[in-house]
Amino acid sequence: MRMQAAVICAALCLAGAANGEDDIFDRVKHGYAENQGVKVHYASLGEGPLVIMIHGFPDFWYSWRSQMAALSDQFTRVAMDLRGYNLSDKPAGNENYAMPHILGDVAAVIKANGAEKATVVGHDWGGAIAWQFAMHMPQMVERLVICNLPHPRGFMREMANNPEQQKNSAYARGFQKEGAEKGLSAEGLAGFVAKGDPAVTARYVEAFKQSDFTAMLAYYKVNYPREPYQEDSGPVIRIAVPVLVFHGLKDTALGAKALNDTWDWLDADLTLVTVPNANHWVHHDAPELVSKTMKFWLARDAK
């Protein structure tokens, strides 16, 4: 029998430049890590235990502005630009966006910040990368925080068996088609994710103009499952660190049913926070809830 996810209701707070978040853009320090000749840009702020933040599509390091501000100086907050995005390198060829290369980028950023391990935070593709990083490079993961990206096994189960999830993934099948990048623009992507805030929109337009749309969609072409969809029947690679998952229940791309049974693939505790009125960008839609919960959760084991 499947357990029902606990629902934590909260008033949503839209955050923008007016709330001081835009100051993050000018206060961060910029750096680069190198992985096999590919330079990966990151923005950092603060001092303390390392927290690596990985954005999804379409986004860039600035996605984490609320959380970077909220974690104050208790942590070193490092937000990456994935390869292909903004100030990171954009190697040609879909094969350069296969998951092993991306995991190497995350490892390089951790090492560039003088650490052997970190708390890894991810949303969307960043969440998929974070799950895989915890499974394949466990020695480098202190804790794991995921925003709106179910565990890979749960997602594949829904893709194989749930017609609603198959329908919701139609956009990804479109992105897998050759030439799909021709339908993208910096302004269109920025309007989609920035939600009307002029100052934030301007940041996104600038970042997307510096990005490579072909590279953005290479993540889907190389790493996203293709039909016919099948459940993952391979050995379970269990995750041994504490996991915090946020999921906006109005997500139209990733259904909440994929969250079921997540606990069966973990050896440490799972904290699941579902947000009824948040969409796919839960850390944008409910920044105060996500930031405060993350801060409390990260500090719980402090000595």
Per-residue confidence band for 302, with pLDDT thresholds at 50, 70 and 90? low
Per-residue confidence band for 181, with pLDDT thresholds at 50, 70 and 90? very high
Q: Is 284 one of the catalytic residues?
A: no
**CA separation for the pair 169, 199 (Å, rounded):** 31
Q: Which pLDDT tens digit goes with each residue over 191-208? A: 989 988 899 999 999 999
* Domains delineated in the chain: 17-299 (3.40.50.1820)
**Can you tell me whether residue 181 is helix, strand or coil?**
helix
- Name the residue among 294, 58, 65, 81 with its Cα closest to residue 191: 58
Per-residue model confidence (pLDDT) at position 207 = 98
Q: Is 247 one of the catalytic residues?
A: no
94 vs 131, 218, 222, 265, CA distance in Å? 21, 5, 7, 30
Q: Residues 6 or more apart from 170 whose CB is under 8 A from it?
A: none
Residue of 124, 197, 212, 285 with catalytic role: 124
Q: Which pLDDT tens digit goes with each residue over 75-122? A: 999 999 999 999 999 999 999 999 999 999 999 999 999 999 999 999
Residue of 55, 123, 151, 280 with catalytic role: 280
pTM: 0.93
Q: Which pLDDT tens digit goes with each residue over 4-17? A: 333 322 322 333 33
| Mean pLDDT over each residue of the chain, to the nearest integer | 92
Q: Which pLDDT tens digit goes with each residue over 114-160? A: 999 999 999 999 999 999 999 999 999 999 999 999 999 999 999 99
Q: Is 280 one of the catalytic residues?
A: yes
For 82-118, give the DSSP string.
PTTSTTS---SSGGGGSHHHHHHHHHHHHHHTT-S-E
- Mean pLDDT to the nearest integer, 226-248: 97
Residue of 62, 204, 219, 220 with catalytic role: 220
Q: Which pLDDT tens digit goes with each residue over 17-68? A: 334 444 799 999 999 999 999 999 999 999 999 999 999 999 999 999 999 9
